[in-house]
Amino acid sequence: MQGIRFKSLLSGAMLAGLCSVTLSASPIFGTFNIAGTITVTQNTITWKLNDSPFPPDKARIGPGATGSFVGLDGTVATIDDLNRITEPVGATFPPQPFMAFDADPLLPTLNISFIFKGIYPTTDCTAAPAVGQTCTPGPPDSPFNFVNNPPPAPDGPQATATFVFTGPTSDGLSRWTGNFTSQFFVPFQDVVAAFAPGGSGSVTNTFSATIFVTPNAEVPEPGPGVLAACGLGLVLLSAGLRRRFTRC
């Protein structure tokens, strides 16, 4: 009888474990916004929170988070710095930790595995500033897409820079894409000049970003059938155990 009890309990533990594994395989999803300060050099990108005491490698999650990120509005995310050596532009690299959620450390982190190259030519990067010009600096390959926006001279133009990152979540069940934007009140030629001979070698500015997280297509969420099967299996096993113990 002891052997029967042990086998029954072992079967129950195995079924419960299987159901637990099945039900826990739920990919994260949703969108959220972040904002902070970015500093760019030829080879690095670093981050800083806009709030005093301006800690490094932090950004603020903005309002409107959806899906798995509901409730994180106003909290802080930790963002790892990027280096061209380990995170090259325009080439897939092994996933590296990029963003974690300070207020919910149980959420999978966002790993980065690709930095998209900018899409514009270099033709206008050193031209006389004018509205409508575009620029992706280089070489080396740059992730930044600059556009000169109105107003025209003498009050403008002013510029925006956009750039895009992507990668898997740390649990491998979802993938994220981040669209980043930085706005300048000067033409992009002034920004790019910082990296020319005699320039400062770095640019610091505020940024904002929208992060989209979507489950991988090959990882379906547990459906009602899975839930029902697990529940029924546990009920039947429990009933069997009661009958066996009663007979003892």
What pLDDT, in 10s, does the model give residues 205-233?
A: 999 999 999 999 974 445 555 444 455 55
248 — pLDDT class (breaks 50, 70, 90): low
CA pseudo-torsion sign 81, 84, 86, 92: positive
3-class SS of residue 2: helix
The values of phi and psi at residue 186, to 5°, are -135, 160
Backbone φ, ψ for residue 142 (5° rounding): -120, 145
pLDDT band at 83; cut points 50, 70, 90? very high
Task: Tell me: pLDDT of 154 over 80.
Answer: yes
**DSSP conformational letter for 89:** B
What pLDDT shows up at residue 234? 47
pTM for the full predicted model: 0.79
**pLDDT tens digits along 21-51:** 444 569 999 999 999 999 999 999 999 999 9
Compute CA 196 distance to the chain's CA centroid, rounded to the nearest angstrom. 31
E-strand stretches of the chain:
30-40, 44-48, 58-61, 76-79, 82-83, 96-101, 110-112, 114-115, 134-135, 145-149, 158-168, 174-184, 203-215
Rg (CA), the chain: 26
Alpha helix positions (H), 81-220: 188-192
Q: What residue ranges do the domains of the chain occupy?
A: 26-215
Q: How far apart are CA 16 and CA 242, in angstroms?
A: 17
d(CA 16, CA 71): 30
Predicted confidence (pLDDT) per residue in 89-145, tens digit: 999 999 999 999 999 999 999 999 999 999 999 999 999 999 999 999 999 999 999
Residues 122 and 124: their CA atoms lie apart, in Å, by 6
The angle that helices 2-24 and 224-247 make with each other, rounded to 10 degrees, is: 170
Give the pLDDT confidence score for residue 19 in this predicted structure.
52
